[in-house]
Structure 1
Amino acid sequence: MSIIIGIRAEELDTRAPLTPKYVKRIVESGTSVYVQPSQKRCFPDEEYQKAGAYLQTDLSNVDIVFSVKEIPCSKILPGKIHCFFSHTIKGQKNNMTMLRTIMEKQATLIDYEKITDSSGKRLIAFGKFAGYAGMIDALWIYGQRMQTLGCETPFSQVQQANKYQNLEQAKTAISDLGKTIKEHGLPFPIVCGFTGSGRVAQGAKEIYSLLPVRTIMAKDLSKISENVSHHCVYQVSFSLENIFTNSQNTFSREEYIKHPQQYHSIFAEYIPYLSIVVNGLYWAPKYPHLLTILDLKNLLTARDNPRFQTLADITCDINGSIEFNVESTSSENPCYTYNPFSKKAEYGWKTIGLPVLAVDKLPGEIPQESSEGFSEELYGLFSDLRNISYAGNLASSGLSATWHNATIVYKGELTENYQYLQKHLEGSLNE
């Protein structure tokens, strides 16, 4: 018997896990789709109806509920399979109540973030689109920040990603900016540093490459003032070995992964030469910070007007790789300036400190394109779900290894790979 799927209405996000285009394909294959009506979703309800879906607020008749972001506890359906980005696998405190509720309601949680191939590579993600929007926003914030400091640059022409009609229009605007830089030049060198090598960094670099770019190596950053051109921008990509070292001033990737506590960051050595940093580095609590509050304090103490004026933390781990990323922001208030002396953050880019972009829903700023990209990847794995059985245990469910490994909770119980979350659940109760 074929499953019935549902698409829930997001509370705060305009994206969709499955677009009308892919819903149509699913319906044509013989699977029923129910869609909760939404005024926020970037695709009108009527498009889902035309695709053959049923519009229905009550999803209690479906087998699997697909959504994008975390689900409010009151909206978790008892006994149902829920697929979404739960942001629980690192034991995130804010989401332990939601995880506990899923277990109490005997529901099942499948997390997109853990849908990977045999090598651990993620198969479905919004990361590239987060990189697109994050880079656009970083250029926008940088232009506004420099204008606040009394320095006019062509970057003041850039808008926030969600102010453009679509991604194509945003790319055209960045390309036009590149032509301006190439023809008229910049008042000083602009250097953007990228961390991470995944989809986030790839998307950010794709946007940045619309400008006239020259690539330099991390080891050559201190020479950036020599033979510099003002008719281009510069980029530098940082590998783990550029960023972290141990007490012997060496780096081993294998050792770093197994014993990260033996390493510390040397990234602060580079930041005096950087204008913008785009952080796409994967981080977990066992890893060292990339930049600390002390690093920022030392930079601002040593230089009255440092070159480094914008940090786009696209990974957005609170107090994570960037210690002074103290809170996630929304697209309505995307940026705050962190003051390392007072240890306070103030929204905007006009105060003392460093402007930090910390939007945790960046793909939502280009919702149609990011939803289409995500849906294409999700649809490619959909055939594995068509004939699953929810009657027995996880082993007999018929879930492929891909989906099996992404199942955090099955019928109210943490699965074997995620038993470690029990200590985080208990810890959240004791706080």
Structure 2
Amino acid sequence: MKIGIIRETKTPEDNRVALTPEQIIALQHSFPGTEFKVQSSAIRAYSDDAYRALGIPVVDSLEDCQVLFGIKEAKLASLLPGKHYFFFGHLAKFQEHNRPLLQKLLSAGITFSDYEYLVDAQNQRLNSFSWWAGFVGAYNTLRGYGLRSGAFTLPAPDKSFTTEQIYALCQGCAKLPLKIIITGSGQASEGAQALLQRIGFQELPPPEFLRLPKGSRACYSFLKVEEMLRHKTHPQQPFSFSDLQKNPGDYQSCFFPYACAADLLLVCHYWDPASPVHLTRGQLKAIEMNLQVVGDVTCDIPGSIESTLRSSTHSEPFFDYNPRTGKEEPPFSSLQNISCMAVDSLPNALPLEASQSFGEGLRQIVFPLLLSKYLNDPTIAGATIVREGKLTPKFAYLADFAAGHA
């Protein structure tokens, strides 16, 4: 099998890569006969020369490769007909901005597998950038608070940053008695917690977090999804994920009191469009709502936090949400607003470390499946949204969306 690593074509640019030079060499040793080529890129965190130095071909075209690996959505003009692509597609939740991408995948006879749906038997993702998104999201949110309040100054991250640098830069932030609430308990939440713990924020159980008056001490709490929802008619019944998936309309959010008790919110939970909204526009303008900064790591638009009007970029990561009008305003333009951070490519702030981590997951977990059974492997098949230009049965619900009817 010939495998290609595509250049990233999305705007704004993304510097990550699916496999580092050393990981490609390791795969070639593990799977003799497998060929790898890397498409030349001027923006990749690992340079063309880093691949050439290890004898890996760097080329302009990947036309002779069967399977192509990237990170973010590829530009439509760059997609090669009949190939098998792996990248993050952001289209299976009816994301309108990527409807043309789905249509192109279908019309060009492409096979497309989405990293987001590479999951185990418990429906847990096998490989992701989520930890890095949470870590960088927490840093950006603290930075936003510093810019809003004038309490401290943190620099914008660049692609040479490391986790250790960020830990060092944030020393001293915990001197301020900020209360931070984190939604979710997965890898994104773990990444955010890793930063807060390291710099001195105290973890509190959710009930204690609610009771603690603001201004007491630097602390955070995280909520599991089951702690953010309750059944509408049977609120005392044990929480069931399977029932939530089958009957999302039977549940309502109980998150509002936690948002009111916090200064900063880090949104790290998985959300499905059929699930309840956790902060409505009405709640965001309630008199008891005093959130100062919302860092939306998951960046679902529209999503469960209705202040996230749009995604933002690394160069311009912040905007203000005016809760009285429900409109966007310039960042930090009024202390009556809620400042928002919604960068949709957070791990790209640490592209070297994040790529290394993600590539290890591909090398150790995904490639053994791909190179042994290919699309006959149930894990690979389960992540495949389009096969040879047709929606797979699991994703057939996208048919009307692809046709432009939904």
TM-score of the aligned structures, taking structure 1 as reference length: 0.87
Contact 2:210 2:257 in 1 (8 A): no
Gap change, CA 1:22 and 1:164, over 3 Å in 2: closer
Gap change, CA 1:60 and 1:222, over 3 Å in 2: closer
CA separation in 1, counterparts of 2:159 and 2:166? 9
Counterpart residue number, 2:382: 405
Q: Give secondary structure in 2 for the equivalent of 1:34.
A: strand
Shift of 1:318: 0.7
Contact 1:116 1:402 in 2 (8 A): yes
Shift of 1:288: 0.8
**For residues 193-228 of structure 1, what are the alpha-carbon distances to aligned partners after superposition, in whole Å with 9 as ceiling and x for unaligned?**
1111111000000011112232223223343139x7
Contact 2:161 2:349 in 1 (8 A): no
Shift of 1:398: 5.2
Q: Give secondary structure in 1 for the equivalent of 2:158.
A: helix
CA separation in 1, counterparts of 2:324 and 2:198? 37
Which one of 50, 60, 77 corresponds to residue 74 of structure 1? 77
Q: What amino acid does structure 2 have at the position aligned with 1:327?
A: R
Shift of 1:251: 5.5
CA separation in 2, counterparts of 1:34 and 1:116? 27
Counterpart residue number, 2:398: 421
**For residues 392-430 of structure 1, what are the alpha-carbon distances to aligned partners after superposition, in whole Å with 9 as ceiling and x for unaligned?**
xxxxx653111111111111111111111112213xx24
Contact 1:33 1:54 in 2 (8 A): yes
CA separation in 1, counterparts of 2:87 and 2:221? 34
1:370 maps onto 2:354 in alignment: yes
Q: How does 1:77-92 map to 2 (within 5 A)?
A: 77-92=80-95
Which one of 144, 149, 158 corresponds to residue 146 of structure 1? 149
Counterpart residue number, 2:15: 14
Counterpart residue number, 2:280: 292
Contact 1:241 1:251 in 2 (8 A): no
Q: Give secondary structure in 1 for the equivalent of 2:3.
A: strand
CA separation in 2, counterparts of 1:163 and 1:42? 7
Q: Give secondary structure in 2 for the equivalent of 1:157.
A: coil
TM-score of the aligned structures, taking structure 2 as reference length: 0.92
Contact 2:209 2:220 in 1 (8 A): no
Q: Deviating runs (4+, > 6 A) in structure 1?
A: none
Shift of 1:93: 1.4
Contact 1:143 1:158 in 2 (8 A): yes
Counterpart residue number, 2:131: 128
CA separation in 1, counterparts of 2:294 and 2:158? 19
Contact 2:159 2:351 in 1 (8 A): no
Which one of 336, 346, 354 corresponds to residue 319 of structure 2? 336
1:283 maps onto 2:278 in alignment: no
Gap change, CA 1:55 and 1:355, over 3 Å in 2: same
1:324 maps onto 2:310 in alignment: no
Counterpart residue number, 1:353: 337
Shift of 1:257: 3.0
Q: What amino acid does structure 2 have at the position aligned with 1:224?
A: L
Counterpart residue number, 2:201: 213
Shift of 1:276: 0.9
**For residues 317-375 of structure 1, what are the alpha-carbon distances to aligned partners after superposition, in whole Å with 9 as ceiling and x for unaligned?**
01211122111111011111111222211342233411111000000011001000000
Counterpart residue number, 2:62: 59
CA separation in 2, counterparts of 1:161 and 1:172? 13
1:268 maps onto 2:256 in alignment: yes
Q: CA RMSD in A?
A: 2.0
Q: Give secondary structure in 2 for the equivalent of 1:161.
A: coil
Shift of 1:116: 1.0
Unaligned 5+ segments in structure 2 are: none
Unaligned 5+ segments in structure 1 are: 148-152, 389-396
1:243 maps onto 2:201 in alignment: no
Gap change, CA 1:241 and 1:79, over 3 Å in 2: closer
CA separation in 2, counterparts of 1:167 and 1:350? 30
Which one of 335, 352, 367 corresponds to residue 382 of structure 1? 367
CA separation in 2, counterparts of 1:166 and 1:141? 19
Bigger shift: residues 356-365 or 339-348: 339-348
Contact 1:244 1:251 in 2 (8 A): no
CA separation in 2, counterparts of 1:258 and 1:75? 38
Larger radius of gyration: 1
Gap change, CA 1:32 and 1:241, over 3 Å in 2: closer
Residue-pair matches, total: 396
Counterpart residue number, 2:38: 35
**For residues 7-47 of structure 1, what are the alpha-carbon distances to aligned partners after superposition, in whole Å with 9 as ceiling and x for unaligned?**
11112210001111111223343322111111110011001
Q: Give secondary structure in 1 for the equivalent of 2:85.
A: strand
